[in-house]
Amino acid sequence: EIVLTQSPATLSLSPGERATLSCRASQSVSSYLAWYQQKPGQAPRLLIYDASNRATGIPARFSGSGSGTDFTLTISSLEPEDFAVYYCQQRSNWPPTFGPGTKVDIK
C-alpha cells in the first residue's frame, strides 16, 4: 500500500496570502494524484486530479503540480472560504489511499 505524507500538518495564513501544500508518496504514483478540500461538517470536494487538472467549477487560484513522489497544491491568494483541510489521494496502486491532511487556518 502506498503511504502519502502531507506537510505541514497545519498552515496558518492570512486571506490574500499564497498557500503551498506538499504531498509525498512512499513510491512513485506517476501523475495519478488528486487533491480534495473538506470543510467542517461537509463532504470532501475534488479540486485537482491527475496532479494538475482542475475539476469542474474549481477556481483558477487552485493549481497542482508534481509527478513521481512529490506533489504540491498551491492556492495563489487565499479567499475566506479556502480555510479548510486539504487531502491528497493516489490512484496509481490499489488500494487508493489518502494522505492525513493539511489544515489551512486563519492566522
Give the shortest CB-59-to-another protein separation in angstroms: 16
Give the shortest CB-46-to-another protein separation in angstroms: 5
Q: CA–CA separation, 36 vs 8, rounded Å? A: 16
From residue 34 to residue 73, what is the string marking binding to another protein with x (rule CB under 8 A)? x-x-----xxxxx--x-----xx-----------------
Nearest Cα residue to 21 out of 32, 33, 11, 34? 11
Give the shortest CB-23-to-another protein separation in angstroms: 13
Q: CA–CA separation, 70 vs 77, rounded Å? A: 22
Q: Which of 11, 21, 86, 89 is in the footprint of another protein by CB under 8 A?
A: 89
Site for another protein in 15-34 (CB under 8 A): 34
Q: Is the four-CA dihedral 1, 98, 50, 95 of positive or negative sign?
A: positive
Neighbouring C-alpha atoms within 13 Å toward the C-beta of 65: 6
Binding site for another protein (CB under 8 A): 34, 36, 42-46, 49, 55-56, 87, 89, 91, 94-101
